[in-house]
Amino acid sequence: MDFKRFKEIIIKNRTYTANVKESIKIFNDKVRWDGNIPKIMKEIGEKLGVLIFQVPLADKDFGAVFLDTGYSKYLLLNSSQPRNKMYFSFCHDIYHILNGVPEYLNEKREVHFNQDYASNDNECKANLFAANLLMPEVEFRKMYDLYKDDNKEIEKIVAKLMNYFSSPFVAVLIRLYELEILEKVEEVKGLLKYEDKQIKELFDSLWLDKDILEPTFKDEMPFLLEMLKIEGTDLVEKRLMSEYNFNRIIGEIEKIYSVIRKKD
């Protein structure tokens, strides 16, 4: 990430704190859970009336896409992303689900930190919301204090925080500064250039499990298609949908799926 953009994000995030805390309150009121978010993504979806499913897309930089048909709501997560980035994508889109999905939404993002990030208030708030869900302030401060006692190098502390909170590298760095745990941003200028290979090497040096850095490649579309076919058949039998429309809709879904799915 560009250093100038990194600083702009931190400054903006501090101005959005009150707004995002209100969205967090709405989320907690609806879901009534403050535990490990990645472990209960489907349950969160049920509370919000959204079906969450994973598909390994050909484009690994694609984050997630939310679809509201007017009858049902779906959130497709790209399982070709590393787990930590997929979790962040999930939390980011929960903000949009709670606050209304903007028409301009472009889901192809570098973990939702693309070039438009610093100039788009809605996207900034969605990212801050995601950081708050994955890295709650009180617990984040507590874990930072724990890790800093054993590690003097900031990159090692960041890696351990990544591992604990299942969060992306840059998201952890931003969290450290937006909460003013760290103050001198110049100290991490070099870390913003870290590539995936260097992060994996850092995890290895600390004996950390690299699972969150790898994709699941989970494909839940066959289960979704089966569910849609059962529901569609029921509608046809009740004469609430024509057989022609049912077959056309399933055919279109299967066609799109074959195009966007990662090839084996």
| pTM check: above 0.85 | yes
How does pLDDT run across 175-229, given as a tens digit for each residue?
A: 999 999 998 888 788 888 899 999 999 999 999 999 999 999 999 999 999 999 9
How does pLDDT run across 77-109, given as a tens digit for each residue?
A: 999 999 999 999 999 999 999 987 665 444 444
Encode the chain in three state secondary structure: CCHHHHHHHHHHHHHCHHHHHHHHHHHHHHHCCCCCHHHHHHHHHHHHCCEEEEECECCCCECEEEEECCCCEEEEEECCCCHHHHHHHHHHHHHHHHHCCCCCCCCECCCCCCCCHHHCHHHHHHHHHHHHHHCCHHHHHHHHHHHHCCCCCHHHHHHHHHHHHCCCHHHHHHHHHHCCCCCCHHHHCHHHHCCHHHHHHHHHHCCCCCHHHCCCCCCCHHHHHHHHHHHHHHHHHCCCCCHHHHHHHHHHHHHHHHHHECCC
